[in-house]
Amino acid sequence: MGKIIDGRAVAAEACLGIKARVQAIAEKGVTPKLAVVLVGDNPASRAYVGMKEKKAAELGIATAGYKLSAEISEDELIALVKELNGDASIHGILVQLPLPKHISEERVLMNISPAKDVDGLHPVNAGMLMTGRKGFVPCTPKGCVKLVESTGVDIAGKNCVVLGRSNIVGKPAAILMLAKNATVTMCHSRTENLGDITRGADILISAVGVPNLITADMIKPGAVVIDVAQCRVNDAWRGDVDFEGALEVAGHITPVPGGVGPMTIAMLMENTVEAAEKTLD
Ligand code: NAP
């Protein structure tokens, strides 16, 4: 029987350190401030934004909320982003995704100043990560690595399999694990014989969005399993992994909810504080 990785507890621990950093820079006269831009009224996006604003308030991070109509044009949204880039009181800019179909997410993200890109999605920050330099790291994969580390399992030399190759989760997760000296394999929708690959994983990070894609027989006994996916099934949240079955085989496993989700929010707060600290350099 594996151990459940309590993402809420690991996030709470991380938040203690973040709060201390907020207080340290407050003494130097700076309050970290995050601009939160929500376009339209997608209920899931509204909920995520609400959770982020609530966590910021708990940690002493100020927020400026911009709730925009779904009809806003791409140019108007980019104009707002540019205004926020130029506003010295704002340290981080979060544009909640997805955006309405008529707006190019790529164009909007490209216009966020890399210095305020606390989601780590600008190509400059992606390039920094790729080349081992210090930039903003996307929140979800950053949280995944901390969850693996919270188990006490040494990452160096282990086989890590990452499922999913999105710019927001899969690719950065793989690069981060590589930087921690794991031997990394990436899988995607065209991967053949997925189970043969996942069964070799000492650490499995799954970011696909297909409930029950990973069954117990696809997991190496004792593996660390990080389930990033958030799928709505019969009014409940499920991940990619058949949790009940996998718990019998894995050494450590994150639940959904209560695993990766709280860490994503904590890492957004950490990146915002980091952005504010940099203004003091
Ligand atoms: P995405 O952009 O849709 O990427 C999904 C990836 O899964 C793609 O690379 C796709 O391959 C791959 N894939 C699809 N079917 C597959 C299969 N049968 N076997 C192996 N790989 C397959 O999604 P995302 O934005 O990365 O998010 C992934 C999941 O994580 C979603 O459920 C999302 O809700 C969740 N998520 C959670 C958090 C959190 O804080 N907990 C944050 C972000 C995302 P191709 O590239 O070949 O299409």
Mean pLDDT by 10 residues, the chain (281 residues): 97 98 97 98 95 98 98 98 98 98 98 98 98 98 98 98 98 98 98 98 99 98 98 95 98 98 98 97 84
- Residues with catalytic function: 52, 96, 119
How far apart are the CA of 165 and the centre of ligand 1, in A? Answer: 7
| 266 ligand 1 Cβ < 6 A | no
How far apart are the CA of 103 and the centre of ligand 1, in A? Answer: 21
Instruction: Yes or no: say if 118 and 136 are a contact pair by the CB < 8 Å rule.
Output: yes
Point out which residues pair with 261 in neighbouring strands. Answer: none
Query: In 10 A of CB 180, how many CB atoms?
Result: 18
Q: CA-to-CA distance for 281 and 265, rounded, in angstroms? A: 25
pTM, whole model, 2 decimals? 0.98
Residue the block writes with tokens 């499920």: 238
Q: CA-to-CA distance for 223 and 43, rounded, in angstroms? A: 35
How far apart are the CA of 144 and the centre of ligand 1, in A? Answer: 14
Q: Closest Cα to atom 48, ligand 1: which residue?
A: 189
| 192 ligand 1 Cβ < 6 A | no
Q: Is 99 exposed, middle or buried (0-12, 13-18, 19+ CB in 10 A)?
A: buried
Q: CA-to-CA distance for 213 and 229, rounded, in angstroms? A: 11
Vertex 179: Cα angle to 194 and 144 (nearest 5): 60
| 163 ligand 1 Cβ < 6 A | yes
State yes or no: cis peptide before 123, omega within 30 of 0: no
